[in-house]
């Protein structure tokens, strides 16, 4: 048994983390001047909204012979750029060596990238190297849509005593071609939130979208779902970036995005929460009622099953089914439900009902 996964809230990280926690900076650190000018422009254009600077110095690339990051030499560039504007900095680490180099260079926050989270061995080695170190760690979801692997990585880091933890949602790879580079599959971070409500979640619209046009919409969706922050790749000259050129935005565009986003208060901190809770408990009561009614309905189905069995009647009687659907459609559409929803719902109810009838026959 691993310890229950817990995390401190972002305000215990030791620097300003107002809602939403916005992290911005280039995909890769390319030079001292690129870091400085990007960070200065970010600060000049975003009115205090950006609270942390990001950059990668070791870049996990799909194919060899692409730019794999400048390496350790870039760490002081990142740190000094942050110092220049008074902001903490974060970088990606993928091995204990990276961790030691980052700590030596006083990097404030570390993140584990999507290609590393997939490997329990790699995550475990990183965890060991962090024993006794007090530093926030952000864990990107694994490339593949596997929630257990994501939680497993959070648990491994948590197990060595790191409680300044967040998850970063950067979308999941898909074999199918989609409009996204990594489709968001929001149900996964939502399920993570349900299972581990105190792990903050930061959305990375840059790696989800893969193109700069999608960033605003994805960022808004992330905030609308109540997630705690955004990580947005920002470059002084995005088209000339050495990695992820298509998805990076200029500091000016970042400023526009951040001004346009509608930020609602995070969970627990709004006066309206009491009203919201009242509405939620009404929904819960109705959901309970729906489930109780379904259980009762399936009980009757079993009685019908026994009856049909005794009297040698066929299980599925299509006229009866047509009649049920017709009644439901008439009533439901009048009440504002869509035809599609009613049909799907009743198909499921019907399937479950047949299973219950078969169950009594099999006895
Ligand atoms: C990155 O943040 O630049 C990066 C490599 O991200 P990911 O691990 O999400 O692909
Ligand atoms: Mn990137």
User: How many angstroms separate the CA atoms of 357 and 321, rounded?
Assistant: 14
The pLDDT score that the predictor gives to residue 267 is 58
Please report, rounded to a whole number, the percentage of residues in the chain having pLDDT higher than 90: 79
Distance CA 192, CA 288 (A): 23
Strand pairing report for 165-169 and 21-25:
unpaired
- The confidence score (pLDDT) of residue 3 equals 61
Report, as an integer, the average pLDDT of 143-169.
98
What is the Å distance from ligand 1's center to 118 Cα?
13
Q: Both 15 and 143 in a single domain?
A: yes
pLDDT beyond 70 at 2: no
The confidence score (pLDDT) of residue 49 equals 98
Please indicate, yes or no, whether residues 180 and 232 belong to a single structural domain of this protein.
yes
Q: Is 139 a residue whose pLDDT tops 80? A: yes
If asked whether residues 246 and 205 sit together in one domain, one would say yes
Q: Residue 257 class from Cβ within 10 Å (0-12 exposed, 13-18 middle, 19+ buried)? A: buried
pLDDT for 50-73, tens place per residue? 999 999 999 998 888 889 999 999
Among protein residues, the one whose CA lies closest to atom 9 of ligand 1? 114
Ligand 1 pocket test, candidate residues 30, 54, 56, most atoms within 8 A of CB: 56
Distances, alpha carbon 46 to alpha carbons 23, 50, 197, 254, 255, in Å: 11, 6, 30, 7, 5
- Contacting residues for 123 by C-beta, under 8 A, at least 6 apart: 112, 116, 117, 152, 153, 156, 157
Which one of the ligands is nearest to 113 CA? 1
Residue 273 has a pLDDT of: 62
244 alpha carbon – ligand 1 mean position (Å): 9
Task: Report, as an integer, the average pLDDT of 117-145.
Answer: 98
**pLDDT confidence bin for 360, thresholds 50/70/90:** confident
pLDDT value, residue 359: 85
As a whole number, the mean pLDDT across the chain is: 93
Percent of the chain with pLDDT over 70: 96
Same domain, 170 and 283: no
pLDDT digits (tens, 9 = 90+) for 231-284: 999 999 999 999 999 999 999 999 999 999 999 876 555 556 667 777 887 888
CATH number at residue 221: 3.20.20.70
Residues 120 and 163 in one domain: yes
Q: Give residue 41's pLDDT band: very low, low, confident or very high (50, 70, 90).
A: very high
Residue 110 has pLDDT above 90, yes or no: yes
161 part of a folded domain = yes
Q: Is residue 3 in a domain?
A: no
Residue with the smallest CA separation from ligand 1 atom 6 is: 113
146 and 94 co-located in one domain: yes
- Domain-located, residue 60: yes
In a domain, 5, yes or no: no
User: Same domain, yes or no, for 248 and 284?
Assistant: no
pLDDT beyond 80 at 322: yes
Are 97 and 116 within one domain? yes
334 domain residue, yes or no: yes
Q: What is the pLDDT of residue 278?
A: 74
- Candidate from 25, 28, 170 with most ligand 1 atoms within 8 A of CB, to mutate: 170
Say how far apart CA 282 and CA 278 lie, in whole Å: 6
Its domain, for residue 329, covers 270-362
Q: Where does the pLDDT of residue 358 fall: very low under 50, low under 70, confident under 90, or very high at 90 and above? A: confident
Convert 185-220 to b/e letters by CB count within 10 Å (16 or more is b): bbebbeebbeebeebbbbbbbbbbbbebebbbebbb
Report residue 83's pLDDT band, with 50, 70 and 90 as the boundaries: very high
Statement to judge: residues 249 and 287 lie in one domain: no
In this predicted structure, the answer to whether residue 158 has a pLDDT above a threshold of 80 is yes
Please give the pLDDT value at position 286: 86
- Of 232, 260, 288, which residue is a domain's last? 260
Q: Do 79 and 158 fall into the same domain?
A: yes
Return residues with CB closer than 5 A to ligand 2 (ion): 27, 244
Ligand 1: list residues with CB < 6 Å. Answer: 27, 56, 60, 92, 113-115, 140, 170, 207
Please report which confidence band the pLDDT of residue 22 belongs to, taking 50, 70 and 90 as the band edges. Answer: very high
Residue finishing a domain among 260, 282, 298: 260
Stated pTM of the model: 0.77
CATH code assigned at 290: 1.20.59.10
- Of 260, 292, 310, the position where a domain reaches its end is 260
Domain total of the chain: 2
Is there a domain that residue 136 lies in?
yes
Ligand 1: atom nearest CA of 171 is 9
101 & 221 share domain: yes
Q: Are residues 135 and 227 in the same domain?
A: yes
What pLDDT band is residue 309 in, cutting at 50, 70 and 90? confident
The pLDDT value given to residue 238: 98
pLDDT, position 318: 83
Residue 215, in any domain of the structure: yes
Ligand 1: centre distance to CA 114 (Å) = 6
Q: How far apart are CA 106 and CA 57, in angstroms?
A: 14
Q: Which of 58, 69, 98, 114 to mutate to test the pocket of ligand 1 (most atoms within 8 A of CB)?
A: 114
Ligand 1, atom nearest to 60 Cα:
5
The pLDDT, as a whole number, for residue 272 is 60
1 domain-assigned: no
Q: How far is the CA of 206 from the centre of ligand 1 (A)?
A: 9
Residue with tokens 């692997």: 149
| Count of helices and strands (H, E) across the chain | 13, 8
Q: Is the pLDDT assigned to residue 327 strictly greater than 70?
A: yes
């Amino acid at each position: 048994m691993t310890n229950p996964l817990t995390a401190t809230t972002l305000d215990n990280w030791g620097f300003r983390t107002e809602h939403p926690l916005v992290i911005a900076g280039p995909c890769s650190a390319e030079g001292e001047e690129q870091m400085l000018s990007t960070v200065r422009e970010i600060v000049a254009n975003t009115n205090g909204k950006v609270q942390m600077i990001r950059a990668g110095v070791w870049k996990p690339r799909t194919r060899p012979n692409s730019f794999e990051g400048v390496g350790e030499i870039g760490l002081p560039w990142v740190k000094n750029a942050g110092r220049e504007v008074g902001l903490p900095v974060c970088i990606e680490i993928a091995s204990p060596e990276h961790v030691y180099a980052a700590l030596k260079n006083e990097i404030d926050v570390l993140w584990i990238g999507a290609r590393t989270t997939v490997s329990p061995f790699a995550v475990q080695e990183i965890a060991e190297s962090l024993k006794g170190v007090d530093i926030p760690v952000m864990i990107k979801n694994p490339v593949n849509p596997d929630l257990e692997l994501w939680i497993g990585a959070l648990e491994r880091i948590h197990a060595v005593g790191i409680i300044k933890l967040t998850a970063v949602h950067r979308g999941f790879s898909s074999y199918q071609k989609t409009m996204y580079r990594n489709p968001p599959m929001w149900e996964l971070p939502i399920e993570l939130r349900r299972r581990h409500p105190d792990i903050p979640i930061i959305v990375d619209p840059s790696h989800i979208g893969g193109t700069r046009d999608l960033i605003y919409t994805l960022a808004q969706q992330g905030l609308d779902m109540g997630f705690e922050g955004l990580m947005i790749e920002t470059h002084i000259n995005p088209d000339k970036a050495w990695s992820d050129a298509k998805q990076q935005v200029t500091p000016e565009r970042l400023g526009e995005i951040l001004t346009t986003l509608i930020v609602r208060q995070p969970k627990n901190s709004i006066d309206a929460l009491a009203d919201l809770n009242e509405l939620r408990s009404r929904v819960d009561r109705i959901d309970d009622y729906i489930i109780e009614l379904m259980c009762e309905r399936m009980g009757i189905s079993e009685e019908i099953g026994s009856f049909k069995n005794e009297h040698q009647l066929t299980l599925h009687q299509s006229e009866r089914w047509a009649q049920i659907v017709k009644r439901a459609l008439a009533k439901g559409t009048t009440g504002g439900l869509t035809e599609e929803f009613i049909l799907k719902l009743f198909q499921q109810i019907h399937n479950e009902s047949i299973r219950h009838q078969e169950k009594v026959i099999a006895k």
